[in-house]
Amino acid sequence: MMNLDPQRLLQVVLTLPLFLFSLTVHEFAHAWTARRFGDPTAEEEGRLTLDPRVHIDPLGLLMFLLASLTGVGYGWARPVPVRLGNCRNPLSAMYWIALAGPLSNLFQALAGLVILILIGLLGVPVREGLEQGVAPLFAGPGLGFGEIMACVVGYYVTINLILMVFNLIPIPPLDGGRVVVSQAPYALARTLAQLEVAGPGLLLLLMVTGAVSWWFRWTYWPILDGLKLLFSALGLQ
């Protein structure tokens, strides 16, 4: 059910820039890697940039806003155009271009994690930011600058971990599907590649049936539990 509570609306508005920035870096990574492999298509179409305006898909943005109001953020950006025929070693190019997006989210999450640890070492509670995102900001007055930063950075870490894990689902047109296509034997790769057109519908089916939740249960949640153990080992609150 959609939550139109003013607090929830404000929370979505405040976190939207974090989502757009993370998604922009993700798409830029695809474009940059394609250029490194010899394909200038994305650069020629103005996509080799960190300007979010050229990467935003209006429908994907609308879906993120609507889905966020139901408690589950889900959206997408405009796919970066790639012509593998322009690339040196097309299969290797497909692998690294596809993997570049999730890797960019991993690096963003690691950068945020370092900041979060540094904030925690100053005595600021950081576990809530990692576990609850920006929700503590609305729990009541009295949060200091450090606590606010911990919430924002913690949410930035979880956004990027979610984007990484989601995009690694091994179904085209997601990045994980293209990684599998680039590495699979020809017959299997051809079959998987044919799912590209039906990919969005198949992905929706997997979400409805709970398969995506299963994927997150075995990927995202163990990562988050590992980070909590790391915080405990470092004595962070």
Among the listed residues 27, 43, 45, 147, the single catalytic one is: 27
Nearest partner of 21 among 224, 223, 157, judged by Cα = 157
Q: Is 44 a catalytic residue?
A: no
Whether 168 contacts 175, CB under 8 Å: yes
- Residues that are catalytic: 27
